[in-house]
A = this chain, B = another copy of it.
Amino acid sequence: MIKVAINGYGTIGKRVADAVAAQYDMKIIGVSKTRPNAEAFIAKQRGYPLYIADISKKPAFEKVGLTVAGSVEDMCNAADIIVDATPGDVGATNKPLYEKLGKKALWQGGEEHEIAGFSFNSSCNYNGAIGRQFVRVVSCNTTGLCRIIHEIDKEYGVAHVLAIMVRRGSDPGEIKKGPIDAVVLDPVTVPSHHGPDLQTVLPHISITTMAMIVPTTMMHMHAIRITTKKDVNRDRVSELIRQHPRMGLVKKSAGIKSTAELKEFAMDLGRQRADLYENCIFEDSIYANKNELCFFQAIHQEADVVVENVDAIRAMTGLCKDAATSIKMTNDALGFVPIQNNH
Contacts and interface: CB of A to CB of B under 8 A. Distances in A.
B342 A260 contact: no
A145 interface: no
A189 B273 CA distance: 29
A181 B296 contact: no
Interface in A197-251: 208, 210, 212, 214-219, 221, 223, 225
Given A185-B282, A188-B282, A256-B38, A215 B267 contact: no
- Report copies per complex: 4
Contacts of A164: 164, 223
Nearest to A182: B260
A267 B273 contact: yes
B261 A183 contact: no
Nearest to A181: B181
Contacts of A284: 188-189
A180 B182 contact: no
Interface in A262-305: 263-265, 267-270, 272-274, 282, 284-287, 292, 294-296, 298
Nearest to A225: B162
A181 B180 contact: yes
Interface residues of A, number: 80
B173 A285 contact: no
Contact of A285 (B179, B189, B221, B294): B189
A21 to B, nearest CB: 13
Nearest to A267: B273
B175 A178 contact: yes
A267 to B, nearest CB: 5
Given A210-B296, A212-B166, A215-B214, A265 B178 contact: no
A56 interface: no
A37 interface: yes
Interface of A: 14, 35-39, 41-42, 45, 64-65, 162, 164, 166, 169-170, 172-191, 208, 210, 212, 214-219, 221, 223, 225, 252-261, 263-265, 267-270, 272-274, 282, 284-287, 292, 294-296, 298, 342-343
